[in-house]
């Protein structure tokens, strides 16, 4: 009986703590508060519901990790106007007014990716130089806004700056020519 108690005691005091430190690394004296930021954003990836743009709230941690919570376009509009509470807009600012963006511009985002509206029920031209993906020059322009591939999210101030540019016909003409 004493042997079993000694083995359990040895395991709990020596072996178990050694493995727990390997499995759960800890940083001593890290008192830095974990900064969490939430931003409005969008992706050029279509949604299963048929929208050509995925709208989201992007949660960014201090260490660079991100989580994406998809939201509808109408939810983004309400929250960005400050008419509905949002972690991305806790002060209920009017982001459309602040960045001088017409909410209707959200319906133009798909044109960055497609050369023509991809569904048959609408005959409208996009701005991309390839059928369903921007050219290399266009991707280089989108890189300025955090879009390095079609799955990346443009978010925060960069998203609203890109929306501003989408409203600018000279920028659109330049984008088409890239």
The answer to whether residue 175 scores a pLDDT higher than 80 is yes
The model's confidence at residue 14, banded by pLDDT at 50, 70 and 90, is: very low
Query: Is the CB of residue 128 less than 8 Å from the CB of residue 114?
Result: yes
Distances from the Cα of 57 to the Cαs of 23, 30, 40, 69, in angstroms? Answer: 32, 28, 5, 5
Q: Say what the pLDDT of residue 46 is.
A: 92
Three-class SS of residue 125? strand
Query: pLDDT per residue over 84-143, tens digit each?
Result: 999 999 999 999 999 999 999 999 999 999 999 888 777 889 999 988 899 999 999 999
Query: Is the CB of residue 89 less than 8 Å from the CB of residue 77?
Result: no
């Amino acid at each position: 009986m004493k042997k079993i108690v000694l083995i359990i005691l040895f395991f709990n005091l020596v072996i178990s703590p050694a493995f727990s430190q390997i499995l759960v690394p800890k940083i001593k004296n890290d008192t830095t508060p974990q900064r969490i930021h939430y931003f409005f954003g969008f992706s050029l990836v279509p949604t299963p519901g048929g929208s050509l743009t995925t709208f989201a709230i992007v949660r960014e941690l201090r260490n660079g990790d991100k989580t994406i919570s998809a939201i509808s376009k109408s939810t983004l509009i309400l929250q960005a106007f400050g008419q509905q509470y949002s972690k991305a807009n806790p002060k209920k600012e009017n982001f459309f007014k602040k960045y001088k963006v017409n909410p209707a511009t959200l319906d133009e985002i798909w044109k960055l990716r497609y050369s023509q509206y991809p569904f048959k029920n609408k005959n409208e031209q996009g701005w991309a130089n390839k059928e369903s993906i921007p050219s290399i020059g266009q991707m280089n322009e989108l890189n300025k806004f955090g879009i390095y591939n079609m799955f990346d999210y443009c978010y925060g101030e960069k998203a609203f700056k890109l929306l501003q540019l989408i409203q600018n016909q000279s920028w659109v003409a330049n984008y088409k020519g890239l």
